[in-house]
Amino acid sequence: MRLAVCVLLSRSDGITFRHFKDLLEETDGNLGAQLRRLEDKGYVSASKRFVRRKPVTWYRLTPAGRRALRAHVEALDVLLREPAG
Amino acid sequence: MSDPKQTAGDLAYVRAKLEQAEGHDAPGMIYFLWAVIVLVGFAIVDFAAQYTAWFWMIAGPVGGITSFVLGWRHAVDRGAVSRDKALRHGLHWGGLLVAVIALLPLLVTGRIAPESFPQIVLLLIVMSYFYAGVHLDRALIWVAIALSIGFLVVVFVAGPVWTAVGALIAASLGAVGFTRVRAARAFAK
């Protein structure tokens, strides 16, 4: 799920918690925990803004997050290219 | 060491979520707006041709700006914004406006016959919707098809046909709009 979060964030300028929840079909607790882990590592930043007078949390991928995602994707690519066995 | 099968499964999950996120994200209201504009703007050609240019000079840019605002607000309400996507849409449709404006010197200097100008503009719109369908939103290909049929009708059928053509195009825009509304409701459930 954390990979999906980072990939989705890499293709946008901001995604809300609610949108992640609708898209990834996760519980508040599970999603919140995964997003917190990404925030703790500095890969994702969170900010609160008001949309139609309601506070909404927006997430963005940080430059460190982009670098980490790129490295992770490259590692996955190597893994998938390895011959089986 | 990660299991390649597990990794492939994880990537398939990510790909599925990406496709879900990137599909059907224009609000239905934009299509309904243009359905109304087209219905009125095409009927004017048949019933009050002298106002056609004025109508489209105002409705075109105003509709475009309104669409941009609606699209951005929808993205914010939906909870996923992308400046890159907004720019792509803006440049695409802004390009159509520029192309139509670029035709005006040809009209004014007599290189295009006034009676051919609406057909040429319609052809530009057909191409714009086709390329929008290819690059922005696949559903717009259906609108391009309706526009193409309309183009052939206005070229080869004599008489006041613009109203009927406008109704056909408005219906295709409305149909796409309804699919967007349904998709948005299904997503938010």
Residues B80, A16: C-beta atoms closer than 8 Å:
yes
Residues A7, B18: C-beta atoms closer than 8 Å:
yes
User: What is residue A20's predicted lDDT score, i.e. its pLDDT?
Assistant: 92
Count CB atoms within 10 A of the CB of residue B37: 21
What does residue B3 show for φ and ψ, rounded to 5 degrees?
-80, 125
Residues B82, A8: C-beta atoms closer than 8 Å:
no
Residues B2, A4: C-beta atoms closer than 8 Å:
no
Residue of A nearest to B79 (CA): A16
Contacts of A7 in chain B (CB under 8 A): 14, 17-18
Which residue reads 């995964």 in tokens? A34
Q: What is the pTM of this model?
A: 0.81
Give the pLDDT mean for B165-177.
Answer: 94
Residues 6+ apart with CB under 8 A from B70: B27, B29, B30, B33
User: What is residue B189's predicted lDDT score, i.e. its pLDDT?
Assistant: 58
Whole-complex ipTM? 0.77
Least confident piece of the model among B62-66, B116-120, B181-185? B181-185
CA distances to B57, B108, B188 from B134, in Å: 27, 33, 26
Phi-psi region of A52 (alpha: psi -120 to 50; beta: other; left: phi over 0): left
Q: Higher pLDDT residue, A80 or B188?
A: A80
How far is B163 from B39, CA to CA, in rounded Å?
A: 7
Give the pLDDT mean for B114-130.
Answer: 92
Residues B21, A22: C-beta atoms closer than 8 Å:
no
pLDDT band of residue B149 (cuts 50, 70, 90) is very high
Q: Which ranges of chain A have pLDDT less than 70?
A: 82-85
Chain Cα centroid distance, residue B134: 12
Domains of chain A: 2-81 (1.10.10.10)
Q: Does A53 touch chain B (CB under 8 A)?
A: no
Give the pLDDT mean for B122-136.
Answer: 94
Q: Closest Cα of chain B to A40: distance in Å?
A: 22
User: What is residue B24's predicted lDDT score, i.e. its pLDDT?
Assistant: 54
Tokens of B182: 């349904």
